[in-house]
Structure 1
Amino acid sequence: MNEEAPDVVGAWAHSYEEDTDAVAVYRPDDFAFRPSRRPRRGMEFHSDGTFVEWLPGPDDRPRKIVGRWERQGADRIRITFPGGPGQPFVLTVVSRENDQLAFAK
Structure 2
Amino acid sequence: MEQPPQEVFGNWQHAYEEDAHGIAVYRPTANNSGSSQERERLEIHQDGTFSRIIPGRSEVPDVIKGEWEQKKDKLIHVSYESPGLAPQQLEIIESKPDILKVRKL
Residue in 2 aligned with 1:103?
Answer: 102
TM-score, with normalisation over the residues of structure 2? 0.83
- Give the direction of change, closer, same or farther, for the CA distance of 1:46–1:102 in structure 2 (3 Å limit): same
Residue in 1 aligned with 2:21?
Answer: 21
Residue 6 (structure 1) shift? 2.3
Moved more, 35-44 or 20-29: 35-44
Residue in 2 aligned with 1:91?
Answer: 90
Amino acid at match of 2:25: V
Q: Which runs of 5+ in 2 are unaligned?
A: none
Residue 61 (structure 1) shift? 3.1
Residue 89 (structure 1) shift? 0.6
- Give the direction of change, closer, same or farther, for the CA distance of 1:55–1:38 in structure 2 (3 Å limit): closer
Residue 82 (structure 1) shift? 3.8
- Give the direction of change, closer, same or farther, for the CA distance of 1:19–1:83 in structure 2 (3 Å limit): closer
Residue in 1 aligned with 2:40?
Answer: 41
Looking at structure 1, the residues matched to 78 and 36 of structure 2 have their Cα atoms a distance apart, in angstroms, of 28
Amino acid at match of 1:14: H
Residue 81 (structure 1) shift? 1.6
Deviation digits for residues 21-80 of structure 1 (CA, Å, limit 9, x no counterpart): 3211001111141x3598100110111101111011122531111110111111101000
Looking at structure 2, the residues matched to 47 and 5 of structure 1 have their Cα atoms a distance apart, in angstroms, of 9
Looking at structure 2, the residues matched to 98 and 41 of structure 1 have their Cα atoms a distance apart, in angstroms, of 19
1:70 lines up with 2:65 in the alignment: no
Runs of 4+ in structure 1 off by over 2 angstroms are 4-7, 35-38, 82-87
Q: Which runs of 5+ in 1 are unaligned?
A: none
Quote the sequence identity (%). 35
Residue in 1 aligned with 2:30?
Answer: 30
Query: Highest Rg: 1 or 2?
Result: 1
